[in-house]
A and B are shown apart, each in its own frame.
Chain A
Amino acid sequence: MKGTFGRLVRIFLSYGVRILSLLLAVSIIAFVLVSASPIDPVQQYLIRLGTTVSPEQRTEIEAYWGVHQPPVQRYLHWLSELLKGNLGESSLYRRPVSDLIRERFLNSLTLMLCAWALSGVIGFFGGCVMGMCRDRLPDRILKRICYILSSVPTFWLGLIFLLVFSVRLKWFPIGFSSPVGVLSESVTLWQKTHHLILPALTLSLMSFSNIALHTRQKLIDVLNSEYVLFARARGENDWTILRRHGLRNILFPALTLQFASFAELFGGSVMAENVFSYPGLGSAVSAAGLNGDLPLLLGITLFSTLFVCVGNLIANLLYGVIDPRVREVGES
C-alpha cells in the first residue's frame, strides 16, 4: 500500500506543477488580452457608480488603481494580490470576485453535475443499445437522433425547450434558479429542482450524443474482437458478452471521455445559463464580458481553467485505476 501512496503523491505533485504553470500561462495571456482591449476599467467603474465624478476625482482614482503603470508592474501587482486570495472586486456586482465565484459556482455545479450525470448515464446506455443492435432499427433511429443533437446548437435547443415546455405546456418555469418574489431562505428543494430540470436537460443533450456515439463505436470494436469471438465459441450469448466483456472494456474509455468533457460542459453552461437566465458562473462570465467587468472576467477565466484541469486530472487517474496494464507501467 505504501508504494501506491507514494505513487499517488508523485502523480499529484507532477500534476500540481503542471496545473500551476498552466494557470500562470493562462493568467498572463488573459491579462495581456484584457490590457490590449479598448475597455477602460475606470470608465466602467464610474458608469456603475451612478454619480457624476469630477475630472480631478477621476485622476485620483486612476492614480489609486495604477492604471498608468507599465503592464508588467500591474500584472505583478494583480498576481501578488491573487496569491493572497484577493481577486479584486467586481465592478458589475460590487462584491469581491472570490465570493461571487463561490456563490455562482455552487449554482452552476448543481446544474453541471446533473447535466453531466444525465448525459453520461443516458449516453452510455444509448451507446450500449446502439452497439448491441448495430445496423438494426433501434441503432439507426438512435444514431439519427445523435447526429441531429450534435449538430444543433445548445442555445437553440434551449430556446425550443423554453418555447414548448415553459411557454406552451407551462410544465416548467421560464427562467432563474428559484421562483421570483420568494425569499431565498424559503425556496424549497422541489422548487430548485423544478427550475433546474430544463437547463440541465438542455446541457446534457449537448454531450449526450458524443458519449453515445463513442460508446457505440467502442462496443462495436469490442464485439468484433477476437476475445468476443472466443467467448461466443464458449457459449456466451449476447447479454453475457455485454456483461462480462463489453462493459468492462468500454466503461473505461467512456468514463475518461466523460471527465475530459468538463471543458465542453463549462462552455455549454455559458449558453444554457444565458438562455434560462440561470444565475451560475456561465451567465456571470458573459455578463462580465459584455459589461467590461475585468476583475470578474479574469477571475472566472482562471477558475474555469482550474475546473477543466481537475476534470482531466481525474480522467488521467482513472486510466490507472481501471486498466491494469497502465497501472503496472505506472508501478515499474
Chain B
Amino acid sequence: MPASAAGFCFRLVRRQLVLGLRRPVELGNPLLFFAMVVALFPLGLGPAPDTLADFAPGILWIVALLSNLLTSDAVFRSDLEDGSLEQLLLAPQPLYFSALAYVLAHWLLTGLLLGLASPVFALMLGLAPTAIPALALSLLLGTAVLSLIGGIGGALTVGLKRGGMLISLLILPFYMPVLIFGSSAVQAALNGNPAGPYLAILGALLCISIALAPLAIAAGLRISVDT
C-alpha cells in the first residue's frame, strides 16, 4: 500500500529540509559565496559608489545565478552515491512530483535564503533602497526557476564523476532569460518604472518551468541511475 503522492512529497520535502538543516554550515556556504563575490566587484571595478550602484542590479543577479549554479550539482549527488536515488525511482508515486519536491527543498534552502539576505548585499553595493523590494522579489521568483533548471542539469550529470564543470556548460544558456528579466526588474525599479511586468514574466517562466522541468529531471534521473 503506497503513500499518497501528496503525502509522499511532503515527506520528501521534510526529509530534505532536515538533512539540510543538520548541516548548517553547508546551508551558509552559498550565502558566504554570494558575499565574497560581491566583495570582489569593488576590488575589480574600483570602490567609486556611483559605478558600483550602476552595476549593482547586474552584479547581484549574476552572483545569485552563480551561487545557485554551484549548489545544483549537489541536489541529487549524495542520493545517488548512497543508493537513495534508485529507491526513489522505484517508488510507486509519480517521479514528476518527487522531482518537484526535491527542487522545492533545494529552493527553500538556497534561493529563499538568498532572496531574504539580498537586501544586505544590495546595500553593500550602494543600490538605491527603492529598488530593494524589486530585487528581493525578483530573486525569490527567479531563483525558483533557476533551481528547476539547475535540477535538470543536476539530474543529467549526477551519474558522471566529473559533473561540476559540465553542469555549468549545460544549464548556463538556459539561465539567461531569467538573468535578463531579473536584472531588468531591478533596473526598472531603479529608474522609477514599475517592476511588475518583469516580475510577471518571471512568474510566467516559473509556471512553464514547474510544468516542464520535472519531466526533464525525471528523465535525466532515470538515465543517470541506469548504469
B and A form one assembly: no
Query: Which residues of B does A touch, CB under 8 Å?
Result: none
Query: Which residues of A does B touch, CB under 8 Å?
Result: none
